[in-house]
């Protein structure tokens, strides 16, 4: 039955093409001038064409250039048929499968449904050909409709195994003449004997040779009452370009969505604590232009640091360790991250410099203190929860695993960055729900370009597109004079009398009063009520200003206390 259906489909396709060619040829003159070039009509030329039903045979009229050069087939231009000898629908479907599984598996899976699936080489070349158009697609893609009032930007990275120069040289060099082995087992033995013993890798020497791909997830939240509902219009972008390129994409998309410089809308940037990401956030989303910008460190990364450092005093897996981490988590969600730092400083001061395991304990304590100290202004998790904003980067963590790891990080894989770039871009387009629109746009673009260059339209290519580069640096505003943020540069051994002295550093944010709640309800947009220790009256501000001021208060008190202890 399946073969009969395929035969019927091939017969119908050939009949349709023959009828279309007859109609097209009937209106063609003997000589035709197109864009100043003269063409003459030639007899029909036969051609094989692979379709969903198998290979069909048809003829079409050829227009040859009188003065030399490439000609064209009017029927192919009218029907949108490329010179790849495969229908665009079959090609793009094979490429779509190739972005989800290996090219061999894509060909095998497609072979379950079509008589003549494209080869693995054709699928890879189609992916590379589509990859030449992805950059333009992301730039010209219009903003989604019906966006929310809060924009969330999450950025993270993932290492992809890439081929070393020696591996590339071996791939591209001439093949060695080897005697035929009697079986695969003996062939492997033969190659190992030719190669010789491999030296044992040292600690930290990985064979993966990972190169970082950076993933950006952007979506909006819409306020309904006291809640921010979403995500809305989520878009994913992945690239092997530099980190700046990821923020250029985020800045461009933010401006498209109406979150450009001078906006009074909230923009929240969530990262894993990477200092480069914080610096680029300040560069591409400066507070002078984005007054409601909020920076947040993923709370799970902070908790993982605490689980690790907690083993300096409590054994792994014990209830004491779990209870200690729970206490620190409660402090984080009460906007008392500075108390965690003070307690860790006390641990560091009371840990001897000599003794079994003390060197490693002091190193872990020092690293954790530095990590938390630098990011205290980005750890207002209690305030973020009251505002119903994000406290974690789960969205981008899932995108990293799905977009990058699921396709590009398997055993035995060794990618070339430019080739993996095409796969990542196409996976993002597919995830964003734009595959059909993109493939139609790309095929039309190939045909228009070929017509303008008097060439034959071809989607496949063996040369991958270049990696994206930074096209322009956002204007960086002048820094405001404030207490130093990079606290790790100061000495780390300022110990208070006891951990209870952290109360002098604590920022407390109790729930707002009823009158303040009424005031918040009358103000358009989210409003934060904060009560600062020291007898001051509650005040209300927008989220960006409120979080920023409360974080600065923490930082000033921490800095002042450290100076006092040092004196």
CA distance 491 to 343: 16
Q: What angle do CA 331, 332, 335 make, to 5 degrees?
A: 85
Question: Is 503 a member of any domain?
Answer: yes
In 52-167, the DSSP E strands lie at: 54-65, 150-161
State residue 500 phi and psi, 5-degree precision. Answer: -70, -15
Q: Whose CA is closest to 125, among 85, 175, 174, 170?
A: 85
pLDDT at position 545, please? 62
Q: Whose CA is closest to 432, among 97, 144, 90, 230?
A: 144
Question: Is 551 a member of any domain?
Answer: yes
Q: How confident is the model at residue 503 (pLDDT cuts 50, 70, 90)?
A: very low
Section 158-169 average pLDDT: 89
Residues in a beta bridge with 266: 150
Secondary element (H or E) of residue 348: helix 337-350
pLDDT at position 176, please? 78
What radius of gyration do the chain's Cα atoms show? 31
Question: Is 523 a member of any domain?
Answer: yes
Section 220-226 average pLDDT: 92
User: 543-566 and 337-350 are packed helices; what angle lies between their axes, rounded to 10 degrees?
Assistant: 20
Question: Is 185 a member of any domain?
Answer: no
Section 316-338 average pLDDT: 95
Q: What angle do CA 393, 395, 396 make, to 5 degrees?
A: 75
Q: How confident is the model at residue 288 (pLDDT cuts 50, 70, 90)?
A: very high
Q: Whose CA is closest to 298, among 267, 277, 319?
A: 277
Question: Is 80 a member of any domain?
Answer: no
pLDDT reading at 472 higher than 90? no
pLDDT reading at 429 higher than 70? yes
Secondary element (H or E) of residue 293: strand 293-297
Q: How confident is the model at residue 564 (pLDDT cuts 50, 70, 90)?
A: low
Determine how β-strand 54-65 pairs with β-strand 539-541: unpaired
Section 145-159 average pLDDT: 94
Quick check: bond before 509 cis, omega within 30? no
Domain with 366, as residue range(s), is: 300-391+478-566
CA distance 232 to 251: 18
- Report the range of poorest mean pLDDT among 90-94, 132-136, 224-228, 425-429: 224-228
Q: What is residue 247's three-state secondary structure?
A: helix
Question: Is 355 a member of any domain?
Answer: yes
Pull the structure tokens for residue 353. Answer: 């410099």
* Cβ atoms of residues 221 and 150 within 8 Å: yes
Question: Is 433 a member of any domain?
Answer: no
Count of domains observed in the chain: 1
Q: How confident is the model at residue 247 (pLDDT cuts 50, 70, 90)?
A: very high
pLDDT at position 466, please? 94
Judging by beta carbons within 10 Å of its beta carbon (0-12, 13-18, 19+), is residue 546 exposed, middle or buried?
buried
Question: Is 366 a member of any domain?
Answer: yes
CA distance 131 to 446: 12
Q: What percent of the chain has pLDDT over 90?
A: 58
pLDDT at position 434, please? 96
pLDDT at position 189, please? 86
CA distance 170 to 182: 24
Contacts of residue 238, defined as CB under 8 A and 6 or more positions apart, other chains included, come to: 213, 214, 215, 216, 399, 403, 404, 424, 425, 427, 428
pLDDT reading at 377 higher than 80? yes
pLDDT at position 231, please? 94
Average pLDDT, the chain: 83
pLDDT reading at 444 higher than 80? yes
Q: How confident is the model at residue 536 (pLDDT cuts 50, 70, 90)?
A: very low
pLDDT reading at 528 higher than 50? no
- SS3 for 169-187, per residue? HHHHCCCCCCCCCCCHHHH
CA distance 83 to 443: 12
Q: How confident is the model at residue 511 (pLDDT cuts 50, 70, 90)?
A: very low
pLDDT at position 551, please? 65
Section 153-174 average pLDDT: 89
More confident residue, 379 or 169: 379
More confident residue, 208 or 124: 124
Q: How confident is the model at residue 498 (pLDDT cuts 50, 70, 90)?
A: very low
């Amino acid at each position: 039955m399946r073969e009969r259906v395929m035969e019927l489909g091939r017969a119908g396709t050939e009949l349709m093409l023959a009828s279309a060619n007859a109609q097209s040829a009937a209106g063609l003159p003997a000589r035709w001038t197109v864009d100043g070039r003269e063409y003459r009509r030639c007899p029909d030329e036969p051609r094989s064409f692979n379709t969903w039903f198998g290979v069909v045979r048809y003829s079409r009229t050829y227009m040859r250039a009188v003065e030399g050069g490439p000609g064209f087939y009017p029927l192919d231009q009218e029907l949108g048929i490329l010179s790849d000898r495969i229908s665009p629908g079959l090609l793009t479907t094979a490429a779509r499968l190739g972005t989800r599984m290996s090219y061999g598996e894509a060909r095998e899976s497609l072979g379950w449904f079509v008589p003549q699936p494209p080869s693995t080489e054709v699928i890879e070349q189609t992916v590379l050909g589509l990859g030449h158009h992805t950059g333009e697609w992301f730039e010209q893609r219009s903003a989604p409709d019906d966006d929310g009032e809060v924009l969330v930007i999450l950025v993270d990275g993932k290492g992809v195994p890439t081929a070393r120069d020696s591996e590339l040289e071996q791939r591209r060099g001439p093949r060695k003449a080897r005697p035929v082995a009697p079986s695969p087992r003996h062939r492997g033995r033969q190659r190992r004997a030719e190669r010789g013993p491999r030296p044992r890798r040292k600690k930290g020497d990985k064979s993966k040779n990972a190169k970082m791909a950076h993933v950006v997830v952007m979506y909006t939240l819409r306020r309904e009452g006291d809640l921010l509902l979403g995500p809305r219009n989520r878009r994913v972008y992945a690239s092997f370009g530099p980190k700046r390129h990821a923020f250029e994409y985020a800045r461009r998309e933010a401006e498209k969505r109406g979150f450009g410089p001078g906006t009074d809308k909230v923009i929240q940037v969530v990262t894993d604590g990477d200092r480069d990401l914080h610096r680029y956030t300040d560069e591409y989303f400066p507070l002078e232009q984005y007054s409601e910008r909020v920076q947040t460190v993923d709370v799970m990364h902070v908790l993982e640091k605490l689980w690790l450092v907690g083993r300096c005093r409590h054994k792994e897996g014990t209830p004491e360790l779990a209870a200690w981490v729970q206490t620190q988590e409660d402090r984080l969600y009460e906007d008392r991250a500075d108390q965690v730092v003070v307690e860790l400083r006390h641990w560091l001061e009371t840990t001897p410099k000599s003794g079994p395991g003390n060197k490693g304990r002091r190193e872990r304590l020092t690293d954790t203190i530095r990590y938390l100290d630098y990011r205290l202004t980005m750890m207002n998790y209690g305030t973020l929860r009251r505002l119903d904003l994000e406290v974690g980067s789960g969205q981008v963590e899932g995108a990293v695993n799905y977009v990058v790891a699921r396709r590009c990080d398997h055993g035995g894989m060794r990618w070339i960055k430019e080739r993996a770039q095409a796969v990542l871009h196409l996976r993002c387009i597919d995830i964003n729900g734009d595959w059909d629109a993109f493939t139609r746009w790309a095929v039309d673009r190939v045909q228009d370009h070929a017509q303008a260059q008097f060439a034959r339209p071809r989607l496949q290519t063996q040369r991958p597109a270049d990696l994206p580069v930074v096209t322009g640096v956002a204007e960086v505003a002048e820094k405001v004079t404030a207490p130093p943020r990079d606290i790790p540069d100061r000495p780390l051994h300022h110990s208070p009398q006891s951990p209870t002295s952290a109360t002098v550093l604590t920022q407390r944010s109790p729930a707002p009063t009823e009158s303040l709640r009424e005031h918040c309800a009358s103000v358009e947009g989210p409003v934060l009520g904060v009560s600062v220790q020291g007898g001051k009256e509650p005040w209300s501000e927008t989220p960006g200003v409120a979080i920023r001021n409360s974080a600065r208060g923490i930082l000033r008190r921490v800095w002042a206390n450290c100076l006092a202890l040092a004196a």
